[in-house]
Chain A
Amino acid sequence: MAQLEGVLSRRPISRSRRRSRTFYAFISPWLIGFVLFAVFPLAFGFAISLTNYDGLNLFNLNFVGLRNYTTAFQDPNVAHTFKRTLVWTALNTPIWLVLSLLMAIIANRKVKGIGLFRTLFYLPSVIPAVGLVWTWKILLEQNFGLLNAILDYFRPGIAVGWLTNQAMYGVTAMAVWSGLGAGMIVFLAGLQGVPDELVEAARIDGANSFRVFWHITLPMMTPVIFFQVVMGLISAFQQLTIPWLATTNSSIGVPPRSIYLYMINVYQQIFGVGRFGYGMALLWLLIAAILLLTLAVFRTQRYWVYSEAGEQA
């Protein structure tokens, strides 16, 4: 009997060990890639951030400790770019959130041919960054753009510099336009997850559309909104491509001060001036900032995000 038990209990162990081995074999491409292309570069970047590495000269390479980090905190350029990034984030995320939620509500109507409209709503999000930027360059160009031509009709000679001194607003417009479709489909999925019984019950109790939205739909959507806020903040903090391409001529030169975002400065420090060590320190500070921000947003979660009682446990 004891022997039989031993056999029975040994077999599952060897089977689970075999399965565990297979599991690791299957995920090994990702695991190796993760170590080589994420963990190692991050550690390497951190090591570089403690030196004065300039990308070329290994003979002058010196260990400088945390000096790059202390420099960053005193660098007026970093302060400027960080403030601009905060403005950019504060402008982009709420506008994008509200407009894509509105679009999702409009697209959630159950009428014939709604599929076509949803596709068209999503279309701007499909256009790659370079296509997006050129599409908007010819709209926002100071002298030859469509927007100023229309504004000129009402206020002659207005010529707003949407891509120069007012670039914060011009680039926000294009970034929001490009993100609306992507935001919409996530909200749409969220809206379709709101139980019909709840909406029906509220209607029978005499609630009008607005009150149903405010007291039923919106609270039920808070987990989705929360998710979108987190993703929106993270992507706003690391924005580089769109402002860079939109405000430089043929991708030569640097963006104007009004839209000189944090990542633009990092890119410029590394690839423009060759301050690799300093750039890596700035990059690590960005990671820290994004982490802190994400944690802060997660902290607010319990005050406004709806969760099923059972999920809490």
Chain B
Amino acid sequence: MNTLSSIEKPRAASAKALKRLSPFLSYGLLVVVTLLLLVPIIWLLITSLKQNIEYLSYPIVFLPAVPQWNNYAQVFAPVYNFLRHAGMTTVLAAAYSTLCVLTSALSGYAFARYRDVKATRRLFGIIIALLLIPSIVTMIPSFMIFAKLRLTGTYWPWILWGLGASPYHIFLFRQFFLSFPKELEDAAEVDGCTPFGTFWRIFLPNAKAALATSFIINFMWVWGDWLTPRIYLRADNTTLAVLINTVFVNPQGQLLTTLTISGIVIYTLPIVVIFFLSQRYILKGMVTSGLAGR
């Protein structure tokens, strides 16, 4: 007992000192980690303002002599078709996301509100298993089928995938619709709503947060996906993710790295902005479904 208390005392004192210091320690740690994480992004922004010659100099030039703001205007020069492909990417991503959100919401609703139907549990098990199956293993054989149907080089595969819903988003909507009170359904039924009407007019308008989350995650997936458009689309209708790697070359065909980097900044910016505006919702969506990313 005696020895115990003698150990306790200095520890209590140091703990007290630590407690007073701890906010500073916390902020110090937080700032250091943030800076470490953001170094690549800062270097990206600096490089985007360099002349290509400055990037290619040895030893390296840390800062551009004159910031080349013109790089950002150059990205939109007509020869590169950047804006046209940005438009096509937006249309493709929006079309896929809209369809996928609607079909996934409908399925998620069914899985959440029709749990009295016997098959629900087994089918939902399939959904969970599908979350674990790598998407790549279905994507390549699908390509052969779509090629046979002469649908490669078009946006049809995305439309069809969108209509087919996504297990990840079904899961997201199911978790969301589970929390709705039973009375809502009963009231709708008493008022003579059809089953679809109950979903469409009662549940869906109350699911704006989940709808937005799902749409944004889908949109970000199409915007960021490189492999699928690389395999499925042609050079003249592909998405920005594919275009941007090779399009910024000089007339001799050499890659202009700093221009590519400016293009990368412009390509990434919409995603970052969307994330900042909506992070409260999408982070929650990612955590509840327990799956980050897709």
Contacts and interface: CB of A to CB of B under 8 A. Distances in A.
A308 to B, nearest CB: 17
A42 interface: yes
Contacts of B136: 238, 240, 263
A120 B230 contact: no
Given A106-B33, A144-B60, A279-B140, A251 B246 contact: yes
A31 to B, nearest CB: 8
A36 B132 contact: no
B244 interface: yes
B292 interface: yes
A283 B145 CA distance: 16
Given A42-B138, A238-B136, A29 B164 contact: yes
Contacts of B196: 26
Contact of A128 (B44, B47, B140, B268): B268
Interface stretch (A67-75, A84-92, A180-188): A180-188
A189 interface: yes
A70 B235 CA distance: 37
Interface string A145-167: 11001001000000000000000
Interface residues of A, number: 93
A182 B33 contact: no
B144 A276 contact: yes
Contact of A135 (B40, B60, B138, B141): B40
Given A22-B195, A111-B23, A128-B224, A134 B117 contact: no
Contacts of B208: none
A206 B272 CA distance: 45
B181 interface: no
Interface in A184-210: 185-186, 188-189, 206, 208
Given A23-B120, A128-B220, A286 B109 contact: no
B77 interface: no
B187 interface: no
B54 to A, nearest CB: 10
Contacts, number: 246
B137 interface: yes
A117 B165 contact: no
B272 A283 contact: no
A240 B139 CA distance: 13
A146 B62 CA distance: 8
Chain B, interface SS category: helix
A33 interface: yes
B137 to A, nearest CB: 5
Contacts of A16: 116-117
Interface in A52-76: 55
A121 B37 contact: yes
A225 B134 CA distance: 20
A114 B30 CA distance: 9
A220 B246 CA distance: 48
A123 B35 CA distance: 12
Interface string A109-136: 1010010010111111111111100111
Contacts of A117: 30, 34
Contact of B26 (A111, A139, A146, A230): A111
26 contacts: A23-B114, A26-B199, A27-B111, A29-B164, A29-B165, A30-B165, A30-B167, A31-B123, A37-B161, A41-B138, A41-B141, A44-B144, A106-B33, A107-B30, A109-B30, A121-B34, A123-B272, A123-B275, A126-B272, A130-B244, A135-B43, A138-B261, A177-B37, A234-B132, A234-B134, A279-B140
Closest 8 CB pairs of A and B: A33-B164, A128-B224, A182-B292, A45-B141, A26-B110, A41-B141, A30-B165, A131-B268
